[in-house]
């Protein structure tokens, strides 16, 4: 369930007053996802996505995500584009939280990818990386190699099947840190290219969504994520 913040008709009217857009006729919470609250907004002719940022995302980091999506859109990468309010801002306040509205990306995720689908995913990743290795914005990777130690320590292990899982993972992390490459090409990566963030329309890739884990890191980290998340 990813609808942590409830909104009502009054909130929708407030959104309509702040953006140059058709009247919002319907709104519905989107259950997929785990980090932020998302709503599908429908006008007479168009659809949009409202994202309300929850606790994981720092308010000072949100402009990075807005700028990144804007740059990618302007470079012909198929991904959501953040709308600007009448004041020229990407972000609004909603329920005492930061929120944004982005364009709707047609298509849906596939549970099983064929070889051509994987090729298309690789192609859009390559195009994104070609763009982001040259842009002047940056964000520290909250899931980067230096953050994995504290993350591992924060996990409360309750597995009865695996007795020494915590020690096993700690030893693995030591090996990973020891052998982690330092001189590979890098730039801004998407950082969360799991199956539910890649959309297909009529079996052709229509774009990627959810850039809220995007950060600076080695490009091979992106490839490793994709191999683990998509290649099963």
CATH number for the domain spanning 183: value is 3.90.1200.10
- Residue 13 is assigned to a structural domain of this protein: yes
Question: CA 20 to CA 48: how far, in whole Å?
Answer: 13
- What's the mean pLDDT in 78-82? 97
E strands in 68-114: 92-94, 97-103
The two tokens of residue 150 are 């504290």
Intra-chain end-to-end CA distance of the chain, in Å: 25
Q: Buried (b) or exposed (e) across 26-48, using 16+ Cβ within 10 A?
A: ebebbeebebbbbbebeeeeeeb
Task: Identify the residue whose tokens are 């994104």.
Answer: 128
pLDDT above 60 (res 84): yes
Give the end of a domain, one of 103, 125, 159. Answer: 103
For residues 119 and 88, state if they share a domain: no
pTM score of the predicted model: 0.91
- Quick one: pLDDT band at residue 184, thresholds 50, 70, 90? very high
R_g (Cα) of the chain, nearest Å:
19
**Looking at the domain assignment, is residue 110 inside a domain?**
no
C-alpha of 190 from chain center: 7
Question: Does the pLDDT of residue 1 top 70, yes or no?
Answer: no
Residues in the chain: 232
> Hey, CA dihedral for 117, 122, 123, 127, is it positive or negative?
positive
Residue 4 lies inside a defined structural domain of this protein: no
Residues 129 and 158 in one domain: yes
For residues 67 and 146, membership in a common domain is answered with no
* CA separation, residue 4 to residues 31, 93, 214 (Å): 10, 16, 22
Mind giving me the DSSP string for 18-60? HSSSPPP-EEEE----SSSEEEEEE-SS-EEEEEE--TTS-TT
- Residue 93 sits in the same domain as residue 120: no
Q: What are phi and psi of 197, to 5 degrees?
A: -105, 10
- Beta partners for 47? 42
Q: Please check the confidence at residue 161 and state whether its pLDDT lies above 60.
A: yes
224 has pLDDT over 70: yes
* Average pLDDT rounded to a whole number, residues 32-57: 90
Residue 209 within a domain: yes
Q: What confidence category does residue 207 fall into, taking pLDDT thresholds of 50, 70 and 90? A: very high
Per-residue model confidence (pLDDT) at position 57: 80
pLDDT average, residue stretch 36-43: 95
- Is residue 34's pLDDT more than 80? no
Are 83 and 189 part of one and the same domain?
A: no
β-partners of residue 217 are: 187
| CATH code of the domain containing 65 | 3.30.200.20
Mean pLDDT of the region 159-187 = 90
Cα distance between residue 123 and residue 152, in whole Å: 33
- 2 in any annotated domain: no
Better-predicted residue by pLDDT, 144 or 35: 144
If asked whether residues 97 and 123 sit together in one domain, one would say: no
* Average pLDDT, integer, range 44-57: 92
Q: Are residues 140 and 84 in the same domain?
A: no
Assigned domain for 173 exists: yes
What are the pLDDT digits (tens) for 106-127? 999 998 999 999 999 999 999 9
Asked if 177 and 151 sit in the same domain, the reply is: yes
Residue 67 has a pLDDT of: 97
Task: Count CB neighbours of 51 within 10 A.
Answer: 25
Q: Are 225 and 148 in the same domain?
A: yes
* Arithmetic mean of pLDDT, 200-221: 96
Count how many domains the chain has: 2
Per the prediction, the chain carries an average pLDDT of 93
Quick one: 144 and 98 in the same domain? no
pLDDT at 121: 97
| Domain extent for 75 | 9-103
What's the pLDDT at 232? 67
Predicted local distance difference test score (pLDDT) of residue 225: 95
């Amino acid at each position: 369930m990813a609808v942590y913040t409830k909104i009502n008709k009054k909130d929708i009217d407030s959104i309509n007053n702040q953006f140059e857009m058709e009247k919002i006729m319907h709104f519905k919470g989107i259950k997929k996802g785990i980090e932020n609250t998302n709503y599908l907004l429908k006008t007479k002719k168009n659809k949009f996505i409202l994202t309300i940022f929850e606790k994981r995302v720092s308010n000072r980091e949100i402009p990075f995500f807005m700028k990144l999506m804007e740059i990618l859109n302007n470079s012909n990468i198929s991904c959501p584009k953040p709308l600007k309010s009448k004041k020229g801002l990407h972000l609004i306040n909603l329920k005492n939280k930061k929120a944004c509205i982005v364009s709707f990306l047609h298509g849906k995720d596939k549970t099983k990818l064929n070889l051509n689908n994987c090729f298309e995913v690789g192609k859009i990743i390559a195009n994104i990386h070609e763009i982001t290795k040259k842009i002047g914005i940056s964000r520290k990777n909250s899931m980067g190699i230096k953050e994995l130690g504290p993350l591992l320590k924060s996990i409360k292990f309750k597995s009865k099947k695996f007795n020494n899982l915590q020690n096993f993972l700690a030893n693995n992390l030591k090996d990973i840190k020891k052998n982690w490459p330092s001189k590979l090409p890098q730039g801004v990566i998407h950082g969360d290219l799991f199956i539910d963030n890649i959309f297909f329309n009529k079996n052709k890739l229509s774009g990627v969504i959810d850039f809220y884990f995007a950060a600076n890191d080695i490009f091979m980290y992106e490839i490793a994520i994709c191999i683990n998340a998509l290649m099963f």
